[in-house]
Each structure stands twice: as structure tokens, then as C-alpha cells.
Amino acid sequence: MAAQQTFFEERFLTPTGEMRILTDDGGRLRAADWDNHGDRQLARHYGENGFRIVESGPKTKSRERLEAYFAGDIGAIEAIETRTGGTEFQKAVWSALRRIPAGQTISYAGLAANIGHAAAVRAVGLANGANPIVIVVPCHRVIGADGTLTGYGGGLDRKRWLLDHERAAEEGHREAALRRA
């Protein structure tokens, strides 16, 4: 039996609601979700008794970077180190999610093709839904084949807000670059 892991919890307000993040003793982000979603992924990835949660001490770098993201520094989350449970297939999907540029979207089929499993669209969708680290592992950037916003554990209103937030920040960066040129 694997040893029980300790995760350090932080809660903070965002424009999309109260967020809860969990980090490990190495400072790696292990879970991020909105407070009203509880521990929906933790037991799935670490087992019912495979973890314990304690209150975090000082503000972590993960929290600082997420707060910067919400303040408009979209790239701040790229430096957050993560570690997850999950299968090798899920980890491949989550890794591919992190390569989707901010403000851009991809279909489930496109994501499946990107990881070399073009026929595994349904499995990619399941892995996307099992993602324990919202925003940093940007499952909100995956859309339906017809371009519509589809399923998101945090709700479609949040998904829409996140995409709009990223697009606005990216547009601001482009405009600033043009002014400097």
C-alpha cells in the first residue's frame, strides 16, 4: 500500500469564484478547482485514504501565479510545476493541454490527433474531464468539433469567462507590441 500523501490547501477569491489549490511538500501543484467542487478528483487519483489535506502556511508560488493570471498576466501559469496522479494516457492528454496557446482552442479530435491517438476522441474527452488541475492544465481550451463550448466541470459560464479573459489579454499584448513597433 502506498504511503499517504500530504497536500497543503489554499483558498482564495477569483473573478470566477473561490478557488482551492493543493500543493505538495515540493511546492508542485497537485489540484486546483473551484471551492464548490470539493474533492471530486482527489479520491479518483490518489485513493480514498491516499491523501490528507492540511492548511498551507505562507502564500505559495502557485497561488501567486494563478492570481497573476486572473490579473491579466496569462503567461504566469506556464511556470507552475504540476504533478498529478492518473494513467499514462491521461498524463499525455494533460501534457498536450498545456501546449495549447492561451486564448486558443482545439477540438477533442484535434487533441487526440496531437497525442498520436486520432481514434481515441472519447478517451481524450474522459481524460480531459478527469483533469485535477483546472486553468494551469487548461481543459477549458477544448471545444466541440463544431466550435461550440462543450462540457466543463467548472460550468460553461466559467469556461467562457476564461477563454474571453485569455483572448482579451492576448489582444492587449498584440496591441502593446504594435504601439512599440
- Catalytic residue set: 139
Cell numbers for 98, please give them: 498545456
- Amino acid symbol at 52: R
- Amino acid symbol at 27: G
Q: On the CB side of 38, how many CA atoms lie within 13 Å of its CA?
A: 4
- Amino acid symbol at 25: D
Alpha-carbon distance 14 to 120, whole Å?
34
Question: Are 18 and 32 within 8 A, CB to CB?
Answer: no
Nearest to 66 by CA among 129, 23, 101, 128: 23
Alpha-carbon distance 21 to 88, whole Å?
23
